[in-house]
Structure 1
Amino acid sequence: MFMLGLRDDIVELTAYQKLIGQLIAITTVVVLGDVRFHSFYGFLGIEELPLWFSYVFTVFAIIGLTNAFNLIDGLDGLAGSLSVISFVVLGTWFISVGSVTYGFIAFTYAGAILSFLMYNWHPAKIFMGDTGSLVLGFSLSVMCVKFVEVNGSLPLNSFTFNAPFAAAAAFMIVPLYDTLRVFIKRAKKGKSPMAADKSHVHHFLMRMGFRHDQVAFILGSVKILCILFVFAFHKLPDIVMLPALAFIIVIGGIILDNLTLKRVKEIVRDSPRVLAQRKYFGVRKKVKIDQEIFQNEGANPN
């Protein structure tokens, strides 16, 4: 995965080429490393999974999570902040239940990311690129799979989750929600889901006037609240927790969209000179101004 990201940073690959590379890397880990979902642990009444379905489902899940995390890497410090939260929580949980090896791996990632964030925090001096975001997304996805599997093998007196899939989703909640939200919006407009635009959550927060570091703090706080939510109700099953988590995030997204629209209208109303320029120069000028705003802020439109 590291070599795939490095190649894409040096010589841009097509979406198809990146997908093939990801399939090779992920399938190798899933099959040879036996990193897979062995069971649904009672979710939807399903226990042990057939071997072929276990492989297919795990590969699909890791590819989806890896690319979702890659898409969230649009602002200084954002991807690093979101990943370090998950690695710290996962590391703490793994060590607390006796899986020390996985705990040390998680804390190793967390330490490396914190060192990187010293130079990636806004205004950033260095950037992780696809090399970093793909590796972090892939590693975090694998750790989520191991979390579900370790949780399912623990004795009843341990700190176990009756909703392991909801907990795993909480560790990746911001990239997951953002990717699904963006894909749905693009599909409604008749665009390709992979077409770059400025409809990501972090773009909406920037339109409200927040800086890179403030956006990272806000989305990081949302992630922490979601993780605390699944920890607080860890005895409830996935059939309850997954819809509850989805409902909370969707409602939050709707509120964000409405607040953003309201704020943008206020900015336009309070900026008659800019409004006059847009009216005079037409749509092309409007698009150009929006692009310049995001370029000056250093936001990634993907």
Structure 2
Amino acid sequence: MFFFLAALSAFSVGMLSMPILIKVLRKAKIGDTPGGRKIHTSFIPSMGGIAIFIAALVAMAIWAWQFSLPDIRYLLGAIVIMFFVGLRDDMVELKASQKIVGQLIAVILVVVAADIRIKDLHGFLGIDELPLLVSYGFSAFVLLALTNAFNLIDGLDGLAGSMALLVFGFLGTWFMLQGLESYAVLSFVFLGSIVAFLAFNWHPAKIFMGDTGSLMLGFTQGALILAFMEHNAALPAGDFMHFKPVFTVGIVLMLYPLYDMARVFARRISQGKGPMSPDKSHIHHFMMRMGLRHDQVALTLGALQFGFILLIFLMGDLSDHIALPVISFLALFLGYRLDKITVKYVKRKVQKQPRVLELKSRNTAKKHAKASVEAKELQSSKINLN
């Protein structure tokens, strides 16, 4: 009941603040205009992450003081830093190097100061405890990857918010059941604020979260996943909600963003482009070409992500050596089938459409026909030409 009230508080603040933010951003003309890689057709305010941040902050101020927060004080500070990195990038675009430096500061706070990191692979690939520096480096890399993978999927109404909803819902419930109240309340306040955001971001969207929201949410999810992995691994075997494939569960929780990032980078590199070159090769772009609406794509991908989370419950007693290959094979197979179906559909759609030369000849014929009709009308009309 307590955590439900915390989520409800964040939801209420988000619902009250979001319309105000939309009005302010519209007046300031801060948002995304159609054209280029944008797939919307009208001006939409961005930076909805501001309202998500405010809602979570207010709810934390109301409820979190009841718990001992020293274990997450550095995490909270890092989330604030990541929020301002995204805010600055939305207001005045940062260079990639500048953005990475800002992200690294937040990552160091979590990995080094808060000691939220991957300390042990628990026998995966024959590796157990990691040396301290290796642990720092590997954890920082994983956290940066999770943050930016989530940032990259924020290109469709309701998609990023739906994915975050699943992650925070799973983690909040797990932390609550394990008695990790500070992590649980943090997860639930973000859950509530995201539900409020989705009410305005669902298709047709009235606001986007922008980097202000996507970097902050991606980073928060990544940090909480690292915390989950370590606390889950510390549970005795057979304990309630203990997952044996520790590494696999962490991947599954962010499977769609990670798969989409890997897929896009691989395609760009194979085409001789830089991995960060902007294009329309994301999965949601492919699905849009099939004629699906924003909400249909978000629901489909959200259902697939939810299905993988359910699957990991069934594989909870298997080792990473079994669970990870199975999950990887399913993800690659579904991605391969999606690409094949999309390409086939687009080719069929193109074949049904008239070719450019045919359209030009038709237009020319129409113009000639119109001109001849006008000439005939002119000859037959009674006009004084003197």
TM-score for the superposition, normalised by structure 1: 0.89
Identify if the C-alpha distance between structure 1 residues 94 and 232 changes in structure 2 by more than 3 Å, giving closer, same or farther: same
Q: Residues 54-86 of structure 1: CA distance to partner in whole angstroms, max 9, x if unpaired?
A: 110100000011001000000011100001011
Q: Which runs of 5+ in 2 are unaligned?
A: 1-81, 363-386
CA distance in 2, matches of 1:213, 1:33: 38
288, 300, 320: which one aligns with 1:206? 288
1:167 matched residue in structure 2: 249
Is the 8 Å Cα contact of residues 167 and 231 (structure 1) preserved in structure 2?
A: no
Is residue 222 of structure 2 the alignment partner of residue 155 of structure 1?
no
1:254 paired residue among 318, 321, 336:
336
The alignment covers a number of residue pairs equal to 280
Q: Does 1:241 align with 2:342?
A: no
Number of the residue aligned with 1:53: 134
Matched residue, 2:306: 224
Question: Which shifted more, 262-271 or 230-239?
Answer: 262-271
Cα offset, 1:45, TM superposition:
2.2
Q: Deviations over 1:209-264 (max 9, x none)?
A: 11111111011011001111111111111111111111101110110011001111
Report the residue type matching 1:271 in the other structure: Q
Q: Residues 94-105 of structure 1: matches in 2 within 5 Å?
A: 94-105=175-186
CA distance in 2, matches of 1:203, 1:249: 18
Shifted more, 115-124 versus 262-271: the winner is 262-271
2:104 match: 23
Alignment of 1:31-70 (within 5 A): 31-70=112-151
- Aligned partner letter, 2:329: F
Pairwise CA RMSD: 1.6
Task: Tell me the distance in 2 between the aligned counterparts of 1:218 and 1:273.
Answer: 32
Structure-1 separation of matches of 2:278 and 2:98: 18
Q: Where does residue 187 of structure 2 map in the other structure? A: 106
Of the three residues 188, 200, 203, the one matched with 1:119 is 200
Contact 1:84 1:110 in 2 (8 A): yes
Which structure has the bigger radius of gyration? 2
Alpha-carbon distance in structure 2 between the residues aligned to 1:169 and 1:278: 51
Opposite residue 238 of structure 1, the aligned amino acid is D
Whole-Å separation in 2 of the counterparts to 1:64 and 1:132: 16
8 Å CA contact 1:27–1:59 kept in 2: the answer is yes
For residue 272 of structure 1, give the secondary structure of its aligned residue in structure 2: coil
Aligned match of 2:225: 144
SS of the equivalent of 2:275 reads: coil
The 1:157/1:242 distance shift into structure 2, 3 A limit, reads closer
Distance 1:276 1:111 in 2: 54
Counterparts of 2:234 and 2:162 in 1: how far apart (Å)?
30
Match of 1:92 among 173, 176, 188: 173
Shift in CA distance, 278/217, structure 1 to aligned 2, threshold 3 Å: farther
Tell me the distance in 2 between the aligned counterparts of 1:42 and 1:98.
27
**What is the TM-score when the length of structure 2 is the normalising length?**
0.70
Counterpart code for 1:4: V
Shift in alpha-carbon separation, 1:261–1:32, aligned structure 2, 3 A: same
Paired letter, 2:98? Q
- Aligned partner of residue 73 in structure 1, secondary structure: coil
Give the drift of 1:269. Answer: 2.0
Counterparts of 1:275 and 1:184, CA distance in 2: 35
Partner amino acid, structure 1, of 2:253: F
Structure 1 residue 181 and structure 2 residue 257: aligned? no
Between the aligned partners of 2:151 and 2:197, the Cα distance in structure 1 is 17
